[in-house]
Structure 1
């Protein structure tokens, strides 16, 4: 795996004359893991996986596991409540497709190609201990959005089909909610480490480009999936 993540975080520190107002900025960089997952409710339309001529079938569309990388900047609006903006991306992962139509599909489990996921998110965290505590467990909620960039598979004709997949096109038109829970550990006055688990449901539309084209017909899938992502961070309070 070869990947370079370069993130530069700018933040301003503020002095506050009001003792009841807590407002330090902080920034963090993180890395984690997204395990492989299958769509919980996919509908596939098109002839590529269609062995019985139906126009729409229930399909399994799966994304392989991958490393994840993120950067975030946050602001404590009170001693225990923080607002956080984050950006992140995954390493390359493999996309698979199968069809469960009660018969024998043309292709069983098919490597459709590689993809990379980019995301941005806005969340709110509540910390259960005060700001001077060394260990600060928290729970958070938020919304996220993003896009997936697909790549063609690097191989020849798909088995039993005479067709080659030339590319994947993804569309992510929806924002999706997420929840997370974890804790931070103060290393000194400014530096801290964190660990957390993130749970989110995403929805993507995937179009499959083929060669030769299948008589102008579309091969599309509506992919709804639940993701669980552990993550560790290192951060700095300004």
Structure 2
């Protein structure tokens, strides 16, 4: 009986040691999973800034825009600097967000769309011992946010409000990332994870319109500041080396 208990104890100790090795300083991991981005969006009213090259400051009252939620696949890669401190890089396939009108523009529904890029670098602190299967963490980091393929897709809005063909550009910006989550180890190498992040971020959408007027075509420039402030959740599966 004592021999059996000794063998069982030795096996258990070996398993603990192996699990610990997978979450200790110097170990590296990768994950893949599903991001859900839920913007807590709002915007300033649409404002004309230039008509025919002449600076103006004309605000259209009770106009605005909001951003829809989106889902995308992505991956992360991380490195245990110590048994508790991890550096992690996050990247997702750029999701396409729908831009919808609010206020007087709500009647038009979807106004346009854009793809968002927001790779992030995080520094995370893992709680509990390295051999623990369940390990919660908190993190903070920074993300570079920019948009591509911005376009107006609603012809009725383009003609009734902007009065002509319109192109759109957006600003890029840096944003802080506040993060929390946990991982659960199934084996020495395989684990699953869940995290939630918040990014306070905004962008200025600039519209350039070839407006059709009684005196001919005039270049009209307008803009609006859109606050996205997304809450991002990630459900993932990963492998530790």
Change (3 A) 1:166 1:215: closer
TM-score (norm 2): 0.74
Change (3 A) 1:182 1:162: closer
Q: Does 1:192 align with 2:191?
A: yes
Higher helix share: 2
Task: Give the match for residue 177 of structure 2.
Answer: 178
Give 3-state SS (helix, strand or coil) of 1:29's partner: strand
For residue 223 of structure 1, the aligned residue among 220, 226, 230 is 226
Provide the rounded CA distance (Å) in 2 between the counterparts of 1:162 and 1:121. Answer: 35
TM-score (norm 1): 0.75
Give 3-state SS (helix, strand or coil) of 1:23's partner: coil
Deviations 1:157-206 (A, max 9, x none): 3274473554432221x211011111101021111110111111112121
Change (3 A) 1:43 1:157: closer
Q: Does 1:96 align with 2:92?
A: no
5+ residue gaps, structure 2: 1-23, 50-55
Provide the rounded CA distance (Å) in 2 between the counterparts of 1:200 and 1:210. Answer: 31
Query: What is the total number of aligned residue pairs between the two structures?
Result: 206
Contact 2:39/2:228 (8 A) holds in 1: no
Provide the rounded CA distance (Å) in 1 between the counterparts of 2:191 and 2:219. Answer: 55
Change (3 A) 1:216 1:154: closer
Contact 2:181/2:194 (8 A) holds in 1: yes
Provide the rounded CA distance (Å) in 1 between the counterparts of 2:81 and 2:99. Answer: 41
After superposition, the CA RMSD in angstroms is: 2.7
Provide the rounded CA distance (Å) in 2 between the counterparts of 1:165 and 1:95. Answer: 17
Query: Equivalent residues in 2 for 1:28-43 (5 A)?
Result: 28-39=31-42, 42=44
Change (3 A) 1:154 1:222: closer
Query: Equivalent residues in 2 for 1:110-125 (5 A)?
Result: 110=108, 111-125=110-124
- The CA deviation at 1:94 is 0.5
Query: Equivalent residues in 2 for 1:11-160 (5 A)?
Result: 22-39=25-42, 42=44, 44-46=46-48, 55-56=58-59, 59-98=63-102, 105=104, 107-110=105-108, 111-158=110-157, 160=160
Contact 2:208/2:219 (8 A) holds in 1: no
Give 3-state SS (helix, strand or coil) of 1:219's partner: strand
Contact 1:112/1:165 (8 A) holds in 2: no
Moved more, 184-193 or 82-91: 82-91
